[in-house]
A and B are shown apart, each in its own frame.
Chain A
Amino acid sequence: MSKEFIKGNEAIAEAAVRAGCRFFAGYPITPQNEVPEYLSARLPEVGGHFIQGESEIASVFMVFGVAATGIRSMTSSSGPGFALKSEGISFLAGGQIPAVLVNVSRGGPAIGTIEPAQQDYFSAVHAPAPGGFRCFVIAPQNVQEAADFVYEAFDIADKYRTPVYVLADGMIGNMMEVVELPKMRDLAELPSNDSWRFNKYNDDGSARILSTYMPMGELMQKKNKEMAAMYEAWEKNEQRWEEYMVDDAEYIVTAYGSSARIAKSAVKELRAEGVKVGLIRAITLFPFPKDAFAKLDYAKVKKMFCAEMSIPGQYIYDVQNAVLGQSQIIPIQTSGGVILETDMVVAAVKENL
């Protein structure tokens, strides 16, 4: 496969097309605008459709409608846009409709800044919308992973009939890197969705209904239990993380996404100075990679550090929940578009040796 030097947002868009995405609806917002821009030209080339909706809400419900017919569909936005899309995301989860959501996040709250931040962690991981559901959430740390994870997200979405949320940020979206793009999928070879898609009659000839409305409490509870069982299965089978120099580490830095690649540089720098430090990078954010933290030898780990581009911290809550008080966790945080620096991580670790 040949390598290309390509912008993150364009890699996301092209990877979606290659994964079999044939419908995109969205509404402009920085720093993700090259995703719809690219797809507006690219999707018609492969027989797909692009719509710039009149709003985020309209766009996500267009995705709801098209994805319900079994066509691989995607929407993308940034934090303020996801606030508006939240209702539709809840409907996707409730209707068990597979779709891919890409958040190229920026500083918040409110309209915030257009620069990179990781301040949408809670909203992506814990509360995409009211109603008590989960999205499968995966976080790339570079342009290669942005392409790979978007590509894979369509398979995860189909496998579990769930919205899959790719949480990137403005740094990944706007930087260019050398990438090997995944191969073009043959639509005929995608897994069959005949068992559930809306535009197909049931075996007995009756019309199919994908309902998100269940007036009978018992029915709703039954469905919620089924979804909870699916989330448990994710926690059992789908946790994903990266460990770097953790084996003999006395200090552990943990981070995800862009912060993790920056933290890794800090770990390399500290190792060169003889500090026994390692990195745990969460790749799936839901399911959270609790096992990576559960298997640490806390008799050996002196201190932990949690780096993220969010003030107040958000990722740190899940880390605390996984570490269960077995180690002190020192936050290293920036926010609002201030990019985490390698030097900050190095300095924080050195101050706490």
Chain B
Amino acid sequence: MEKSVLIAGFGGQGVMSIGKMLGYAASDAGKYASFYPSYGAEQRGGTANCTVIISDEEIGSPAVSKLDMLIAMNQPSFDKFAKKVKKGGSIIVNSSLVTSKVEDSDIAAFYVPANDIANDLGSPKVANIVILGAYIGLSGALSEEDGKAIIKKMLGSKADLLDMNYQAFDKGLQAVK
């Protein structure tokens, strides 16, 4: 098993956080993982992306040319990276901010209104946790338990936020079922 995902969005949408959480979760689950960020020239309000690979074996390139999955958090990311998804792959579209539809019938599309779900839960900040749930629901690279464990670990002392984050995670899982 080797699964690649590129996560892209505006700076500040938590794109790097999702990527790192996937890596930490995979590491804790005893798997190989790589997290490769676009680096250096990014700024707040600009675009950011990272590639995460989770595997049972040693990982080759951390920056693959053909993706198993894309998570497009905003429209420019969808426009730029949708064509990098391989046939049979999938795209998680943050339909709160992306208006385009996936036109290639060989690619499975999942429309998750992450920002709307997060706002309904009372915090726009958990939109990326909704997406984390959607990823785990789809990819098969990590279990639900792995996902919840890493949320708890990352929140650390902010345990009062745990319930809301778990809810966001579950909404993400449900959105792709």
Give the interface of A toward B (CB within 8 A).
Answer: 3-5, 30-31, 114-115, 142, 170-171, 174-178, 261-262, 264-266, 268, 339-343
Contact = CB atoms under 8 A, between A and B. Distances in A.
Contact of A176 (B23, B31, B60, B66): B23
Interface string B97-112: 0000000000000000
B41 interface: yes
Given A3-B27, A114-B40, A342 B65 contact: yes
Contacts of B34: 175-177
Contacts of A339: 61, 63
A340 B63 CA distance: 9
Interface string B18-41: 001001101100011111110111
Interface residues of B, number: 23
A262 B62 CA distance: 8
Contacts, number: 69
In the complex, the 6 A-B pairs of residues with the closest C-beta atoms, listed nearest first: A265-B60, A5-B27, A176-B35, A114-B40, A262-B61, A341-B65
Contacts of A342: 60-61, 64-65
Say what secondary structure dominates the interface of chain A. Answer: mixed
A114 B61 contact: no
Interface string B40-74: 11000000000000000001111111100000000
Contact of A171 (B20, B23, B24, B36): B36
B79 to A, nearest CB: 21
A5 B33 contact: yes
Q: Which of A142, A176, A261 is the most central at the interface, judged by chain B CB atoms within 10 Å of its CB?
A: A176
Nearest to A178: B27
A3 B66 CA distance: 29
A114 B41 contact: yes
B65 to A, nearest CB: 4
A29 B130 CA distance: 36
Nearest to A106: B40
Contacts of B62: 171, 175, 177
B83 to A, nearest CB: 14
5 contacts: A115-B40, A174-B36, A175-B36, A176-B20, A339-B63
With a 10 A CB-CB cut-off, give which of B20, B33, B60 has the most chain A CB atoms.
B60
Most buried by A among B40, B41, B64: B40
Contacts of A174: 36-37, 39
Given A176-B35, A339-B61, A339-B63, 10 more contacts: A3-B27, A142-B59, A175-B35, A175-B37, A175-B62, A178-B26, A178-B32, A261-B59, A266-B60, A342-B64
